[in-house]
């Protein structure tokens, strides 16, 4: 298999991009700095494969970071988008599709009786927090170190050490006043959670039920239930950010798999089918606080955009039981194959997975929180990713991200991936 792909056109575009786009990209992780290489500019994609501007073809495990559960350019989704576009791209007035997608979401997620659509996951989590603060009359939030809920000021707060800490802004430009009301504790640390609830009158705890922004670090047993119990005892709301897990790990997301019901759910990625859409939802009583039913203001020019709704609704309707079984089998085959390939090459890795998501951690034991994820061998991960790219496999270019296998990945794609992975492990081992 070739290990010398040309990248002259990507390199040229990158030089031009650097003049007009900060860092040459419109979202930081695309720059591939975490794996020590320049970005690859994409020309087109179909199914599980993407093709760059130099004509190199890759088996894609980023899949736009999660929306493309059916793979790229799925004919039914494209047809739905074209059909919607022919009737007009946006109206600023309600459409039937918005009612249908809300009904479809509520059918899949019983805790979501009503939804409000937004254009990004960031907006959806920001709005869910506003609603939680309004509903409880409190301001302080609890989040987990290493969890990402979009670039909301109040949630861009740094991790503390072992103890609950007041949030310190993780980016210049985020005022301390914005993170002052954010308490951060380590993921999977029940004692730290209990202390935080005891020391603060919390409006809400927000969690990715399967955190996937520090690599995939599933909850230890009963951890999500502990969050539910503590919220109930203290009158705080439990918010699950299912932007990644929603409609992916099960029809009703991680809350269905884990049997723990949040008060509010944040959705994104799959719900927009590859177009810009996200949503938040919960019980009728809570959601009827949102304007114009209630007094909590939140709005959006393109919210519930007809093209995005068409893509999202078609995506959801194609996700039947058989699809979830297939995605689960694909993920398990891939995870097991990657473990075996690493072991054969003598490279110490630990692969975490849930249906539709996995992470290859360059560490002997799987991380249980952000601090342990930070101790993985990031240089080895970077070298391995570069070696995969050279062999036509496109992994998430950061140790802190998850792989997104899709329903378009066939056994032939998995074979190609595992051959490349074995060779790449051999190079870094
Ligand atoms: N929440 C989670 C768990 C995410 O992974 C992301 C983005 O990756 C977001 C929220 C923010 O979504 P968006 O990038 O659409 O603003």
Contact of 263 with 238, CB cutoff 8 Å:
yes
Dump pLDDT digits (tens) for 14-35. Answer: 999 999 999 999 999 999 999 9
Of the two residues 123 and 180, the one the predictor is more confident about is: 123
Share of the chain above pLDDT 70, in %: 96
pLDDT of the residue at 314: 98
d(CA 101, CA 99): 6
pLDDT of the residue at 92: 97
Ligand 1 atom showing the smallest separation from residue 245 Cα = 3
Mutating to test ligand 1, I would choose from 123, 127, 150, 151 the residue with most ligand atoms within 8 A of its C-beta, which is 150
pLDDT of the residue at 2: 45
User: Residue 169 — pLDDT band, cuts 50, 70, 90?
Assistant: confident
pLDDT of the residue at 177: 84
Verify whether residue 370 is a known catalytic residue: no
Alpha carbon of 123 to ligand 1 centroid (Å): 9
**What mean pLDDT comes out for the span 110-120?**
98
Alpha carbon of 152 to ligand 1 centroid (Å): 10
**What mean pLDDT comes out for the span 352-372?**
97
Residue 166 has pLDDT above 70, yes or no: no
Verify whether residue 400 is a known catalytic residue: no
Residue 8 has pLDDT above 70, yes or no: yes
Alpha carbon of 78 to ligand 1 centroid (Å): 23
Residue 153 has pLDDT above 90, yes or no: no
> To the nearest whole number, what is the mean pLDDT of the chain?
95
Alpha carbon of 344 to ligand 1 centroid (Å): 35
pLDDT of the residue at 108: 98
User: Residue 4 — pLDDT band, cuts 50, 70, 90?
Assistant: low
Verify whether residue 241 is a known catalytic residue: yes
Closest by Cα among 192, 206, 108, 191 to 148: 206
> Hey, what are 241's tokens?
């950010």
User: Residue 179 — pLDDT band, cuts 50, 70, 90?
Assistant: confident
Least confident of 176-180, 196-200, 288-292, 375-379: 176-180
pLDDT of the residue at 129: 97
> Hey, what are 265's tokens?
């759910």
pTM for this structure?
A: 0.97
Q: Tell me which residues have their CB closer than 6 angstroms to ligand 1.
A: 65, 120-122, 125, 148-150, 208, 213, 241, 243-244, 268, 278
User: Residue 180 — pLDDT band, cuts 50, 70, 90?
Assistant: confident
Dump pLDDT digits (tens) for 250-298. Answer: 999 999 999 999 999 999 999 999 999 999 999 999 999 999 999 999 9
Ligand 1 atom showing the smallest separation from residue 120 Cα = 15
**What mean pLDDT comes out for the span 320-324?**
98
pLDDT of the residue at 175: 84
Of the two residues 222 and 174, the one the predictor is more confident about is: 222
**What mean pLDDT comes out for the span 325-335?**
98
Q: Whose CA is nearest to atom 9 of ligand 1?
A: 150
């Amino acid at each position: 298999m070739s290990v010398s792909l040309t990248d002259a056109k990507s390199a040229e575009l990158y030089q031009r991009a650097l003049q007009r786009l900060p860092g040459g990209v419109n979202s930081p992780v695309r720059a591939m700095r975490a794996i020590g290489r320049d970005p690859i500019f994409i020309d087109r994609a179909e199914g599980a494969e993407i093709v760059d501007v130099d004509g190199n073809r890759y088996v894609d495990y980023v899949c736009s970071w999660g929306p493309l559960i059916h793979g790229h350019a799925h004919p039914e989704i494209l047809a739905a988008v074209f059909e919607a576009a022919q009737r007009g791209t946006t109206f600023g007035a309600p459409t039937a599709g918005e009612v249908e997608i809300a009904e479809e979401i509520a059918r899949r997620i019983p805790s979501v009786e009503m939804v409000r659509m937004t254009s990004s996951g960031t907006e959806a989590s920001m709005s869910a927090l506003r609603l939680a603060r309004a509903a409880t009359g409190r301001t302080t939030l609890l989040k987990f170190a290493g969890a990402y809920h979009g670039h909301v000021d109040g949630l861009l707060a740094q991790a503390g050490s072992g103890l609950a800490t007041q949030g310190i802004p993780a980016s210049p430009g985020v005022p301390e006043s914005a993170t002052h009301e954010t308490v951060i504790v380590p993921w999977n640390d029940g004692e730290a959670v209990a202390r935080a609830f005891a020391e603060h009158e919390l409006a809400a705890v927000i969690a990715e039920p399967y955190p996937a922004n520090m690599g995939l670090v599933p909850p230890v047993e009963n951890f999500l239930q502990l969050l539910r119990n503590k919220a109930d005892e203290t009158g705080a709301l439990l918010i699950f950010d299912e932007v990644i897990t929603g409609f992916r790990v099960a029809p009703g997301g991680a809350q269905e798999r884990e049997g723990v019901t949040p008060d509010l759910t944040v959705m994104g990625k799959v719900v927009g089918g590859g177009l810009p859409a996200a949503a938040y939802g919960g019980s009728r009583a809570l959601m009827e606080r949102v304007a114009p039913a209630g007094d909590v203001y939140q709005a959006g020019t393109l919210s519930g955009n007809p093209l995005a709704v068409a893509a999202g609704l078609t995506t959801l309707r194609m996700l039947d039981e058989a699809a979830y079984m297939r995605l689960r089998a694909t993920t398990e085959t891939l995870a097991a194959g990657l473990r075996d390939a690493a072991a054969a090459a003598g490279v110490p890795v630990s692969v975490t997975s849930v249906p539709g998501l996995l992470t290859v951690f360059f560490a002997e034991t799987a991380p249980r929180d952000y601090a342990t994820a930070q101790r993985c061998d990031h240089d080895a991960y970077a070298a391995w990713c570069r070696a995969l790219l050279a062999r036509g496999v496109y992994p998430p270019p950061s140790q802190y991200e998850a792989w997104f296998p899709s329903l378009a990945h066939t056994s032939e794609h998995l074979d190609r991936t595992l051959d490349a992975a074995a060779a790449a492990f051999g190079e870094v081992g």
